[in-house]
Amino acid sequence: NIERSGFREISSALLAPNDVLLIQVNSPVPNHGAVYVGGRGNCIFHHPTGRLSGFQPYGGLWLKHTAKVLRYVGS
């Protein structure tokens, strides 16, 4: 339903603010989502388990386990 919802999968090399990251951590399928914010801190906005939603640098675990990068292009 990704394309029907107006999203298109893109290369991580084209990552830009407002792109959606589908992240796969300890699961056979993507099980976490984040929005790439960018900026000086190369940040994402997401809701990690057991913590409040917030900004965090995009790297380490999140970068390593990114399964797909999606961009909204409209329907």
What pLDDT score was predicted for residue 75?
65
Contact 27, 35 (CB under 8 A): no
H or E segment and range at residue 22:
strand 20-23
What pLDDT sits at residue 16? 97
The whole-number pLDDT of residue 74 equals: 85
- pLDDT tens per residue across span 16-56: 999 999 999 999 999 999 999 999 989 999 998 899 999 99
56 beta partners: 44
Q: Higher pLDDT residue, 72 or 48?
A: 72
- pLDDT score, position 49: 87
